[in-house]
Amino acid sequence: MEDRKIDIQPVKRRSYFYYGLIFLLAMGLSGLTANFVLERFPNSSDEYAYLFQAETYKAGRFWNPVHPKQDFFYIVHVIEKEGKWYGAYGPGWPLVLCLGMLLKIPAWLINPFLAGLYLLFLFKFTERSYNTKTASGVVLSLLFCPFFIFNAASYFSHILCVLEILLGVYFFGLFLETKKAIHIGSGSFFFALGMLTRSYTTFWCLLPVIIFWIKEQKRQVVRSMGWIFFGALPIAVIWSICNFKITGNPFIDVTISSAGYTQSIQFLAGYHFKDMAASLKEHVFQLTKWTSPGLVCIYAFSFIRNVQSKKYCVFDFIFPSVVLGFFLFPLDAGTEYGPRYYYEAYPFLVLSAAGSLFGNRMEFQGRHTREIFQADKKFAVGLVFTAAWDFWLHLVRRGKIFYIPRPLTYYRLHRSAYTLQCSRYPREFKRQLRVVFRKHYAALIASHWRRKKTYKESSLLFNRLECLFSISIPWVRNSIRRNFFSSIKIFYLFEARWLGHVC
């Protein structure tokens, strides 16, 4: 097989340009909103409490002494207890604000910077899970969504938490493909960071991941527990130190020990189902008001369809899991910029909806050929010469496939090989070529007609088919392969010009 050299530098430069554009657009839109719309002002007590904690950490303290005139300085979510004055939230987001302040970065600019990083990682995550078109649709949907932009322009902790959750989901998924300990350790680390930032929301986002992980791992779950423990250990140490400095006990959480938070678990304190349903209805209404009713409906339809066809993935269940969590723990506050308690799960809603609109999930990405064969049983054993070619074309029709232009394996040839013995019959060989061609030609070309591809782009399809053909039958003479595919290209060019699709 000829070793075709491909210059990938222009592709890399183009990719870096798009990545930079995504980052700058996200940071620019949210930064402009923070500066000119929200005027860099903490518009809620939650935001003020985060800034209060960040200033406290910057001063090298975990808490402040109570002011003699404390009655004049009372702020919701800033707690006075046992002579200590401290914020009621976890240390995750205030530590990031404190780091930004130490680096002389304006506090109002930290969230827009994280929004740019988040959309950049989300684009790569979606492109890997679906395709580039779906990734572009997801990014554009969030860029021009006021729900996403306004919360990214505020001092809330949601954008940091959703970034940590996305990285956690990515590394857990990577572990299921590679079985490498570093991946599950990294996933555990980022989910632990999410727990340090917004523990309740992160728990409900983590729940579907744990269920899918146990389902995939089965008996190997115990082996992975050690790496999960070591990944989360540094964050657990930070959490324990913060708790000990404020509450005196490393295992009593600051938020739970704060005044009034124990009684806030309303579904354990006589909160009725009717009130829960009313809270859920209000949150869903606010979601459709701040985002898009059509997008929410598309997600609901695609979710039901995926569950019925059993073609679901872990991130399809993250949004319903968070909705369930805040149905059991209904909070009436938090609607400054939409139902922000759904913020961490909303990008996964957009991802699932965009995937149902723009393309199928790459079902075999990261999986081995053996697993695909066992799942589909599509190997045509009756095709002695072209069985492997037929199998690869079947995979091409299921999603994206990548070609590495160098030999990675060797094929053993010997005189008693059945394929070599049968190669003395060229008529049978040509017949099997026609069988595979007729089987896959219509489906592959039909998709190209629907997208109105040019001849140059469609010719690339045949180059890939030719590549797969040469991979499957490496001992076929180059002249037969070249003449066969040249005739296909000539026929396709004539058909394309006749229909008027050539640009």
Q: Is pLDDT at 501 greater than 80 in this prediction?
A: no
Query: Cα dist. 354→155, 255, 287 in Å?
Result: 29, 37, 17
Q: What are phi and psi of 336, to 5 degrees?
A: -60, -45
Mean pLDDT (whole number) for 64-79: 81
Q: Is the pLDDT of residue 2 over 50?
A: no
Question: Side-chain half-sphere of 59: how many Cα atoms within 13 Å?
Answer: 12
Tens of pLDDT, residues 9-50: 444 556 788 889 999 999 999 999 999 999 999 988 889 999
Give pLDDT, residue 395.
72
Mean pLDDT of 97-122: 95
- What is the distance of C-alpha 13 from the center of its chain? 23
The more confidently predicted of residues 138 and 177 is 138
pLDDT value at position 350? 92
Check whether 437 has a pLDDT greater than 50.
yes
- Half-sphere exposure (CA, 13 Å, Cβ side) for 495? 14
| Higher pLDDT pick, 459 / 148 | 148
Give the per-residue pLDDT at 4. 38
**81 pairs with which residues across the strands?**
84
User: What is the three-class DSSP state of 157?
Assistant: coil
Q: Could you report the per-residue pLDDT of 154-164, keeping only the tens digit for each?
A: 999 999 999 99
Between 424 and 393, residue with greater pLDDT? 393
Q: What is the mean pLDDT of the chain?
A: 77
Q: The tokens of 143 are what?
A: 């860029």
Residue 5 has pLDDT above 60, yes or no: no
Would you say 245 and 62 are in contact if contact means Cβ atoms under 8 Å apart? yes
DSSP 347-385: HHHHHHHHHHHH----TTTT--HHHHHHHH----TT-TT
The pLDDT of residue 234: 93
pLDDT at 363: 42
Q: How far, in Å, CA of 41 to CA of 46, rounded?
A: 12
Token pair of 484 as six digits: 């066969």
In this predicted model, what pLDDT tens digit does every residue of 188-217 receive, in sequence order? 999 999 999 999 999 999 999 999 888 877
d(Cα 325, Cα 316) in Å, to the nearest integer? 16
**pLDDT per position as a tens digit, 336-364:** 788 889 999 999 999 988 887 775 554 43
- The larger pLDDT score, comparing residue 437 to residue 98, is at 98
pTM confidence score: 0.72
CA 30 to CA 22: how far, in whole Å? 12
Of 72 and 416, the structure prediction assigns the larger pLDDT to 72
Residue 489's pLDDT is what?
A: 45
Tell me what pLDDT residue 486 has. Answer: 47
State the alpha helices, DSSP H only, in 103-198.
107-129, 132-143, 146-152, 158-178, 181-197
Percent of the chain residues topping a pLDDT of 90 = 32
* Whether residue 142 has pLDDT greater than 60: yes
Identify the pLDDT of residue 357: 78
pLDDT at res. 442: 63
Q: Are 261 and 88 in contact (CB under 8 A)?
A: yes
Q: Which pLDDT tens digit goes with each residue over 243-287?
A: 999 988 888 888 776 654 444 444 455 566 777 888 888 888 888
Greater pLDDT, 461 or 66? 66
pLDDT at res. 78: 87
